[in-house]
A and B are shown apart, each in its own frame.
Chain A
């Protein structure tokens, strides 16, 4: 079925993630959580690793969640989610709680996923727990003041990969987390971006409905860390997708499918030049990044065409 990315109408009035949270002005990650929460619905338990979204949503004694929510450490969101899921299953089996098909959703940032929580995540995916893992990727440890993570893209200046005379910022390429999730042979992996809100909500809903583990990787702009005006948070996300820097795709049981049919990628410079963290890049570096982006995108196109799924027009 074609995935429509634009269209009028409020899909659901449900807001399990309430206003009053203390995210920075213009935070696309808070938006991603809000949209994901709408798609998850009320019948769920959220397990939240340390990170921006934990800190801004729970300044004690307040919470922005209307549904059960538990804070875990940085490294064990997936492990705690596994425990909650196994516990629920066992209680249902013993008749201690009625069967209500409660979904367990783990939320973690890019640091909590691709650095610190990777082994717990790998274990949970491998054991096949029935849960959804959502990685909220803003490409650095923004909560503690913009330190690089393994999800920080090549060339980005952060406080621990600062650009200067001798350094161009981050010197490694962004870790391909969705591919690592796919390698676990799980039923559903997807990438999403709040700039494509319908696509994001559809994917999260699909992940929730999938029996077994599902992984959704959401790229969300961080005006504070990416050094851009708050107004542009959505625009930048859209450019990340249109330049092919962050392609939107799904992998269902190993079958790749690109969600947007981009006949031509926009030049990656359009995306980079909107952000202060890439301000220092020379034309040569931008060319280098362009080559890498095109190469990675073509790999995806090849995988998708092998899977025989057609992308829907934008």
Chain B
């Protein structure tokens, strides 16, 4: 039997960023080339802004029978650089696999900051998307980086799915993609890189059937306080106590309920929960709250 040429891809993005759309487009392009392909998202109740995953399987020769989530990918795509600090990008990565990251950093910097010794493909997708599309939607740009790094599909075959999906906006998206193909920097696989755990990324200790209470009772009231929804945000509120008149409006209008009174009677957000919606900044009558981009 010949070795299967199956390529498995895992996308990491945030809800609403277009990871699922990207995966679909890539699969359509592969099918257009006469290959077999799959695209599907991970199913979970996560919402806009939350870390999400999508998957691709592409096989040039034979139909794909497996339907499971990809936990040992050949390619990992990170659409939001902030995700790197909250998840293990290389989890389950196959030997010789590639990690594609949307970042302004150089190969050396990424290796140093995140300890990734796998093959790297880096692209400043934020800048490309902003300049070419005028909006910060990086999914099509990331496809360009993937084409450059893996060649699993060609940049010709992606054009038709783009046109079908985006209509008159296809042209600009193709431009962004082509720019990404040109600008993506590759850092080769280092010897010390070894495929690590087989654990699924983003899940921790799920309960077995023996541990679940009868009737699925949850016996710890309010235990969602353990969930760090602060990971979702791409910007955070900053409070200027000099302007604050302690009116309590931010406290009342916070959907997370994460704004609390400080000792001096001012108000401040608990960034462990804050999802960065910006309601407090909009509603503050004294403009004491400003939203700043999460620096990374």
- How long is the Cα–Cα vector from A27 to B282 in the complex, in angstroms? 14
> Smallest Cβ distance from B125 to chain A, in angstroms?
21
Binding site for A on B (CB under 8 A): 15-16, 44-50, 207, 212, 216, 218, 220-229, 232-233, 246-248, 251-258, 261, 270, 273, 275-279, 281-283, 291
- Given contact pairs A15-B257, A20-B229, A61-B212, a sample of 6 additional A-B residue pairs in the complex whose CB atoms are under 8 Å apart: A9-B248, A17-B257, A18-B257, A19-B273, A25-B232, A197-B252
Indicate if the CB atoms of B45 and A10 lie closer than 8 Å: no
Whether A234 lies near B273 (C-beta < 8 A) is no
B24 to chain A: closest CB distance in Å?
Answer: 15
| Stretch in A28-36, A115-123, A178-186 touching the partner | A28-36
Contacts of A234 in B (CB 8 A): 253, 279, 282-283
For residue B282, which residues in chain A have a CB less than 8 angstroms away from its CB?
231-232, 234-235
A-B contact pairs, 9 of them (CB 8 A): A8-B248, A18-B222, A19-B270, A21-B227, A22-B50, A25-B275, A197-B253, A231-B281, A232-B282
Is A24 a contact partner of B49 (Cβ separation < 8 A)?
yes
In the bound complex, CA of A28 to CA of B228 (Å): 20
A56-B45, A60-B218, A67-B221 known; A22+B279 contact, CB < 8 A: no
- A312: chain B residues at CB < 8 Å are none
The bracket for how many chain A residues form the interface is 35 or more
Contact A63 B255, CB 8 Å, known A8-B248, A231-B282: no
> Is A174 among interface residues, defined by CB-CB distance under 8 A?
no
* A26 contacts the other chain (CB 8 A): yes
Asked if A218 is at the interface (CB within 8 A of a chain B CB), the reply is no
Asked whether, in the complex, the Cβ of A23 is within 8 Å of the Cβ of B218, the reply is: no
Q: Which residues of chain A come closer than 8 Å to B218, judged between CB atoms?
A: 58, 60-63
- Judge if A55 is at the interface, Cβ distance under 8 Å: yes
Q: Total contacts A to B, CB within 8 angstroms?
A: 132
Known A8-B247, A22-B45: A63·B224 in contact at CB below 8 Å: yes
> Of B222, B251, B261, B273, which is in contact with the most chain A CB atoms at under 10 Å from its CB?
B222
> Is B253's CB under 8 angstroms from A62's CB?
no
Interchain CA distance A23-B291 in the complex, whole Å: 20
Q: Which 10 A-B pairs have the closest CB atoms?
A: A26-B277, A20-B224, A231-B278, A24-B47, A25-B275, A66-B222, A20-B227, A19-B273, A230-B277, A31-B255
Q: Which of A24, A34, A224: most chain B CB closer than 10 A? A: A24
Minimal beta-carbon separation of A167 from chain B (angstroms): 17
Q: How far apart are A280's CB and chain B's nearest CB, in angstroms?
A: 15
Q: Which of A186-235 contact B (CB under 8 A)?
A: 194, 197, 223-224, 229-235
Q: Which residues of A contact B281 (CB under 8 A)?
A: 231
B279–A20 contact, CB under 8 A? no
In the complex, which residues of chain A have a beta carbon less than 8 angstroms from the beta carbon of B261? 10
B206 to chain A, nearest CB (A): 9
In contact, A61 and B207 (Cβ under 8 angstroms): yes
A63 and B221 contact, CB distance less than 8 A: yes
Residues of B within 8 A of A231 (CB): 277-279, 281-282, 291
A65 with B270, Cβ < 8 A, contacts A8-B247, A30-B255 known: no
Q: Chain B residues near A9 (CB, 8 Å)? A: 248
B268 to chain A, nearest CB (A): 14
Q: Which residue of A lies closest to B213 (CB)?
A: A61
CB-CB under 8 A for A25 and B221, given A20-B226, A234-B282: no
> Does chain B have a CB within 8 A of A275?
no
Do residues A64 and B45 form an inter-chain contact, with CB atoms below 8 A?
no
Task: Name the residue of chain A whose CB is nearest to the CB of B273.
Answer: A19
Name, among B216, B228, B229, B258, the residue most crowded by chain A CB atoms within 10 Å (CB to CB): B229
Most buried by A among B223, B224, B253, B276: B224
